[in-house]
């Protein structure tokens, strides 16, 4: 039996268009039979991965040009994870790895219904289980019926042991890239504390400053500014090139990492971003075209007439999915 061998080569809310045409240093991923991806969680570098239906080693590919066709159009879905157990208990969660409540599960499933007609070619999530659960549950509702598979490339063994031995199965899968850079901001010594009790202990004004200022971190934690440095850098280097190449991408992450990305997409000021609130389990849609991001708000649902016909290509995708549906 021949294996699908994955070879790694290091390598508005305001509805206004935002210029994102500046060239980046990251190269586009290489297509060879089918597209697959990996993220080395130790070095935190995304790598080229392409599948070959062969036992033979692949020749190192020549990177594609980083320039993009001005007519390229792609969808970007951003979603904050569903409610977690610590959300329910009103605790500071930060980078603690807490799963979804039943309500969070239901929020993710409802979000999946709302984006079920929007094509998804690849998924990025944080390294935290609540974001990963949300992404997986969303895809259970998608009309593409493709299976999301988390790519493991932490070691040579993990890469070898998770090989897929079917080209057909590979084509029916969606790669899921996990990255710590998309994690929630680290709340330091506040993690695990009750928010109300913390306000009573330190004073409401001080806690509000820790939570809602742009550049003031909580004790031994990250400020929103610090979180934005890693989240936006990762978006520019690894997610944006996929959009430029025409891939439709979903990002399941957290309130502060997503606020940081939206700040970049919509060119928000530090004063504007601190007042931006994102509800759990509510998807936001952006259309990337001609080097710009255009906000389309939150999709209503597949039964709403024409709700996904934001662009010609999305209308075509919806029609194709309709034809596939029983």
Question: Which CATH number does the domain housing residue 251 bear?
Answer: 3.40.50.1240
Q: Structural domain tally of the chain?
A: 1
Q: What pLDDT is stored for residue 325 in this prediction?
A: 62
Cβ neighbourhood burial of 324 (10 Å; 0-12, 13-18, 19+): exposed
Q: What pLDDT is stored for residue 316 in this prediction?
A: 65
List, for residues 17-53, the tens digit of each pLDDT value.
444 544 433 333 333 223 333 333 333 433 333 322 2
User: Is the predicted pLDDT of residue 148 greater than 60, yes or no?
Assistant: yes
Question: Annotation-wise, does 184 bind a ligand?
Answer: yes
Residue 168 contacts by C-beta under 8 Å, 6 or more apart in sequence?
Answer: none
Query: What rounded mean pLDDT belongs to the chain?
Result: 79
Question: Annotation-wise, does 211 bind a ligand?
Answer: yes
- Per the annotation, the verdict on 266 as an active-site residue is no
Q: What pLDDT is stored for residue 72 in this prediction?
A: 78
Question: Annotation-wise, does 202 bind a ligand?
Answer: no
Q: What pLDDT is stored for residue 34 in this prediction?
A: 32
First to last CA, the chain: 34
Cα–Cα distance list, 282 to 61, 77, 285 (Å)? 39, 10, 10
* Higher-confidence position of 308 and 202: 202
Q: What pLDDT is stored for residue 12 in this prediction?
A: 41
Least confident piece of the model among 62-66, 132-136, 221-225: 62-66
Q: What pLDDT is stored for residue 255 in this prediction?
A: 96
The domain in which residue 154 lies consists of: 4-297+304-324
**pLDDT band of 190, cuts 50, 70, 90:** very high
- From the list 107, 181, 184, 240, the catalytic residue is 184
Question: Annotation-wise, does 318 bind a ligand?
Answer: no
Span 77-96, average pLDDT: 97
**Percent of the chain scoring above 90 in pLDDT:** 65
* Higher-confidence position of 298 and 108: 108
Q: What pLDDT is stored for residue 9 in this prediction?
A: 33
Residue 40 contacts by C-beta under 8 Å, 6 or more apart in sequence?
Answer: 8, 46, 47, 153, 154
What is the phi/psi pair of residue 267, to 5°?
55, 45
Question: Annotation-wise, does 186 bind a ligand?
Answer: yes
- From the list 50, 81, 142, 254, the catalytic residue is 81
User: Is the predicted pLDDT of residue 244 greater than 80, yes or no?
Assistant: yes
Question: Annotation-wise, does 183 bind a ligand?
Answer: no
Residue with tokens 């891939």: 247
- Per the annotation, the verdict on 81 as an active-site residue is yes
Question: Annotation-wise, does 188 bind a ligand?
Answer: no
User: Is the predicted pLDDT of residue 159 greater than 60, yes or no?
Assistant: yes
pTM of the predicted model as reported, rounded to 2 decimal places: 0.77
């Amino acid at each position: 039996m021949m294996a699908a061998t994955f070879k790694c080569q290091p390598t508005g809310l305001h509805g206004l268009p935002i210029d994102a045409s500046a060239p980046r240093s990251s190269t586009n991923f290489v297509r060879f039979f089918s597209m697959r991806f990996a993220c080395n969680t130790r070095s935190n570098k995304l790598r080229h991965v392409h599948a070959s239906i062969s036992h033979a080693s692949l020749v190192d590919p020549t990177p594609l040009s980083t320039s993009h066709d001005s007519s390229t159009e792609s969808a970007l879905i951003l979603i904050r994870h569903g409610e977690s157990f610590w959300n329910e208990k009103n605790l500071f969660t930060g980078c603690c790895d807490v799963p979804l409540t039943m309500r969070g599960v239901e929020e993710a499933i409802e979000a999946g219904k709302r984006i079920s007609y929007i094509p998804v070619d690849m998924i990025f999530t944080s390294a935290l289980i609540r974001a990963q659960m949300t992404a997986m549950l969303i895809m259970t509702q998608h009309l593409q019926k493709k299976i999301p598979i988390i790519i493991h490339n932490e070691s040579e063994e993990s890469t070898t042991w998770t090989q897929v031995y079917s080209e057909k199965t590979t084509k029916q899968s969606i790669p899921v890239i996990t990255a710590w850079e998309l994690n929630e901001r680290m709340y330091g010594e506040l993690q695990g504390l009750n928010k109300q009790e913390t306000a009573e202990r330190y004073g409401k004004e001080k806690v509000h400053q820790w939570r809602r200022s742009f550049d003031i971190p909580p004790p031994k934690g990250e400020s929103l500014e610090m979180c934005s440095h890693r989240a936006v850098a990762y978006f520019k280097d690894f997610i944006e090139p996929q959009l430029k190449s025409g891939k439709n991408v979903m990002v399941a992450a957290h309130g502060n990492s997503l606020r940081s990305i939206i700040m970049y997409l919509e060119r928000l000021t530090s004063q504007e971003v601190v007042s931006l609130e994102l509800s759990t389990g509510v998807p936001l849609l952006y259309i990337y075209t001609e080097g710009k991001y255009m906000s389309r708000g939150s999709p209503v649902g597949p039964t709403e007439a024409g709700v996904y016909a934001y662009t010609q290509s999305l209308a075509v995708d919806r029609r194709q999915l309709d034809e596939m549906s029983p």
